[in-house]
Structure 1
């Protein structure tokens, strides 16, 4: 099972241990690839539309026409059981790809192109935190699918 997560930027030092923790936990369940793409520009010097357009190009280059699930503030909120069901169904179809927007969000074009949009919460998270939360939910989802206890 291959899962790819495409996200602008990189993981900062203060979140690296959580990132590594979940990458290690997920190894037994799937072949996970995190694809970091370049940020669209300096938010202090470049307009939001230019930044979102630049990030869209980077993300589309990585997608290569594949369908994807978008983590989106305006997506549908689902619980962990629904997420595990989505995970199981998508993996039966083949590979799975998630896209997370950058610091300024996601372009409307990518929002329209997404196969499914899910929201992690009504709260707004940084793209780095969204990645960590997605990794945790992937781990939890695989534990649910395999009827395993979550707490380790």
Structure 2
């Protein structure tokens, strides 16, 4: 399964950028992953290559579905088993996610009932993706 993370705004904090890069490296053991950091919606729409027809778009949103880590891994496995070849996550900045992208979402995902800064939410998403793929591959989660 190919993963694409479309992030609006940049991860500016050096420590969070380091964590983000570490989880990207770890995830690449299990899946092809691409991270796109975009500044504005108009340029983003033009720059973003269209996903494969079997892509499933996931919007990170406060009102989205909440999972335990185990449920999230099961949800990913279910998408994979149903033939989803590409999974696209949309993660907004302080201004949110542009409507032209919100309309593409098949699913809404909430990482927490708490409001998280967008840079931290990205790291949490990447950590949970890594945890899920490691679990699905039968590997214990490294502590």
Q: Quote the Cα distance in structure 1 between the aligned partners of 2:134 and 2:102.
A: 29
User: Which residue of structure 2 lines up, in the alignment, with residue 111 of structure 1?
Assistant: 102
User: Which residue of structure 2 lines up, in the alignment, with residue 37 of structure 1?
Assistant: 38
Contact 2:56 2:84 in 1 (8 A): no
Is residue 9 from structure 1 mapped to residue 26 from structure 2 by the alignment?
no
Within the candidate set 114, 118, 127, 1:123 is matched to 114
RMSD, aligned CA: 2.0
* Alignment deviations for residues 65-110 of structure 1 (CA, whole Å, 9 cap, x no partner): 6541111111111111121122223334211111111212224554
Structure 1 residues 131 and 151: CA distance shift in structure 2, 3 A? same
Instruction: State the number of aligned residues.
Output: 136
Instruction: Provide the TM-score with structure 1 as the length reference.
Output: 0.78
Structure 1 residues 67 and 26: CA distance shift in structure 2, 3 A? closer
Give the deviation of 1:111 after TM superposition. 3.4
Listed as ranges, the matches of 1:97-108 within 5 Å are 97-108=88-99
Contact 1:7 1:127 in 2 (8 A): no
Q: Quote the Cα distance in structure 2 between the aligned partners of 1:19 and 1:144.
A: 19
Q: Quote the Cα distance in structure 1 between the aligned partners of 2:63 and 2:45.
A: 20
User: Which residue of structure 1 lines up, in the alignment, with residue 136 of structure 2?
Assistant: 145
Is residue 134 from structure 1 mapped to residue 125 from structure 2 by the alignment?
yes
More displaced, 95-104 or 84-93?
Answer: 84-93
Instruction: Provide the TM-score with structure 2 as the length reference.
Output: 0.83
Which 4+ runs in 1 deviate beyond 4 A? Answer: none
Structure with the higher helix share, 1 or 2: 1
Q: Quote the Cα distance in structure 1 between the aligned partners of 2:56 and 2:9.
A: 21
More displaced, 90-99 or 28-37?
Answer: 90-99
Q: Quote the Cα distance in structure 1 between the aligned partners of 2:101 and 2:113.
A: 20
Helix, strand or coil at the partner of 2:132: helix
